[in-house]
Each structure stands twice: as C-alpha cells, then as structure tokens.
Structure 1
Amino acid sequence: MGDSDERDDGAPIEMLEQYFEARGWACERAGEGEIIASATGSWAQYELRGVWRQDDQVLQFLAFPDIKVGAEKRAAIYEAIGLINEQLWLGHFELWSGSGLIVFRHAALVGDNETMSFEQAEAISEAAIEECERFYPVFQFVLWGGKSPTEAISAALIDTAGEA
C-alpha cells in the first residue's frame, strides 16, 4: 500500500466515506449503496447523501440545506428555484412536494469501472455545499424577508459577487 498521500480509486460510496471522514464530518452507511453525512456550513447544517445506483453506474448526490417550505410559500419558492437553476452549471435545486424540503441534487456518471477518485468525491461534495451556501440567502429572503424571488436572487448575487 502507498502512503496516505496516494489514494487508490474505489467504489463511489467508499470514496465519499473517505472524504467525509477526512473532513471530520459525522457519517454513516445507510445500506449497501448509500451514505449520509452532516456538514456545517456558514448558514446551516447540511445533510449530505450519496446514493449509488450500480445498475446505471450513477452516483446521485444530495445536499439538504435544512429549509422546509410551507404550502403558502411554495409558489414563490418554485419561482426562486427556477431562477436559481438558471445560474447553475452542475446540479439543480428541487422542492420535494411531499415533505416541503429543499434539496440540491446532481448525478455523476461513474462508468464501467465503477470507481471514483478521492478528488472526484471531494469535487462532488464541495460543489453541492458551495451552491447551498451561495443560494441559501435567496430562500431566506423569500421565506422570511418578504422579498419576491427576483428581488431575492438579485440581492443574493450582489452580496456574493465579491466572494468568487
């Protein structure tokens, strides 16, 4: 075996587990093809989930920014999500109709060898957290700040323009 700087590629869930543990995030396996972790961001505690679909060779990655939307705000949040998703290169936000939870989700086609690198696990995880952090204020502005989705996204993008 190599030293700790050299990591072998491995199954997607194993690589996510290695990455979560390297970050010091609490994580647990939820069955054979799923892992759940908890990561602290600037705005919220995020639940992260990796779900491996071996038949399709796809890793689905979800990040829950701990935002629940009541029925009276759903139309505005759907509009905000539409505006947000136009800004994204990777993944998208959804509002789960059953639970009212907002989730960031994307899928990675892993391929025939069914392995991922540690760096890929890191990139997938960090992209999800970065987008949740970037757009969390939009949801807050709409849900609690009384702003329209257009006002909220304008305000959030102005606030974060200098952080790139």
Structure 2
Amino acid sequence: MLEHADHDTEDAAPIDMLEAYYAAHGWDHERHEDEVIATVKGSWTTYELRALWREDDSVLQFLAFPDIKVTDDRRAGVYEALALVNEQLWVGHFELWSSSGILLYRHAAMIDGGDDGTISLAAAELLVESAIEECERFYPVFQFVLWGGKSAKEALAAALIETQGEA
C-alpha cells in the first residue's frame, strides 16, 4: 500500500483522498470541485481516470477510460464482448457510450462516512488499482474484436490464457 504521511491513518473526503493518492504516485492530475482527473500509463495504453463525488447521494463514481473508441460497424462485436467480459467481474463493469462510441470501465462506491463522507487510503487504493487491473486484463479482448477479427468468445479465450513458466 502507498504510504502517504498526510493520509496514512486518517480518512479524507473522497476527492481529496484520490487527489493525494495521484500526487503521491506522481501521476498527472487536475481537480475541479467535486471531480478529479488523472492520467496513468498502463502496459497497453494510457488511461484517463475520473472520480466524481455526489455528496447528496454519498456516491463516488469512478471511471477509467482505456482509450478505445468503437466505430458503428464494430459495435455489435464489442457489445457481445462487453457482455462476456462483464460476466467475469465482481465489481464494476465495462460499458460503451452510445453517443460517442467510447468504451470505459465504471464503478460506483457508496461511501458510508456518516456526516463527514470520508474514505480511507486503503479504499481509495482499492478503487483505483482494481479499475486499472481490470482495464489491463480486458484491454486485449476489445482489441482482438476491433482489430484482430476475432469473435467475442475467441477474443476472451485468447486474452485470458494463463501463461505458465517463464521465458
């Protein structure tokens, strides 16, 4: 877990905690009132991470954009891949925005902080790291469907092959 002096043992407002987490990692980020946006380099692509806090509902919406845009002619295959991928997830889901063709990972977290609405460093880390891990894990599935000419089932099978041994 990331050790950050200001937030190691204290909880903080969700956007404040995520901003501190991004800063401690040295990730480019910007803050706009109840939203914080960061950019992080993964092994497949650069991800845009967005967190939006809805204080009225005590909900933290977390979005990860894996820089995939789907053209109209490829949507059917990607929708099938989305259904198969989402069956594999315990938390969060992938979706395709119909108006723009942008693929993203989304997770909403209910923050039970009483009147103060805070989260811990561990919770912030789990939210961010699990989103990045799922994007990294399933990025190849969408690429196989979009560019590799594979069916959704073939793409999922190819992407989830467990490697054994070391090269």
Range class of TM-score, shorter chain: over 0.9
Instruction: For 1:11 and 1:162, locate their aligned partners in 2 and report how far apart those are by CA, in whole Å.
Output: 42
Measured against aligned partners, the alpha-carbon deviations of 1:39-92 in whole angstroms (never above 9, x if no partner) come to 000000000000000011010000000000000000100000000000000100
**What's the Cα RMSD here?**
1.6
2:47 counterpart residue number: 46
2:64 counterpart residue number: 63
Measured against aligned partners, the alpha-carbon deviations of 1:11-65 in whole angstroms (never above 9, x if no partner) come to 00000001111111111012x2101000000000000000000011010000000
The TM-score with structure 2 as length reference comes to: 0.91
Asked whether the equivalents of residues 59 and 109 of structure 1 are also in contact (C-alpha less than 8 Å), the reply is yes
Asked whether the equivalents of residues 25 and 39 of structure 1 are also in contact (C-alpha less than 8 Å), the reply is yes
| Residue 141 in structure 1 maps to residue 147 in structure 2 | no
| Residue 12 in structure 1 maps to residue 5 in structure 2 | no
**3-state DSSP of counterpart to 2:85:** helix
Partner amino acid, structure 2, of 1:33 = D
Quote the offset at 1:105 in angstroms. 0.3
Measured against aligned partners, the alpha-carbon deviations of 1:95-130 in whole angstroms (never above 9, x if no partner) come to 000110000000110022300011111110000000
The TM-score with structure 1 as length reference comes to: 0.93
Partner amino acid, structure 2, of 1:64 = F
Measured against aligned partners, the alpha-carbon deviations of 1:121-157 in whole angstroms (never above 9, x if no partner) come to 1110000000000000000100000000000000001
Alignment of 1:46-125 (within 5 A): 46-111=47-112, 112=114, 113-125=116-128
**3-state DSSP of counterpart to 2:160:** helix
Q: Kindly, what percent of the aligned residue pairs are identical? A: 61
Quote the offset at 1:161 in angstroms. 5.5
Instruction: For 2:69 and 2:163, locate their aligned partners in 1 and report how far apart those are by CA, in whole Å.
Output: 26
Q: Compare the two structures and name the one with the higher helix fraction.
A: 1
**3-state DSSP of counterpart to 1:114:** coil
Q: Give unmatched runs, 5+ long, in structure 2.
A: none
| Residue 25 in structure 1 maps to residue 22 in structure 2 | no
Runs (4+) off by over 6 Å = none
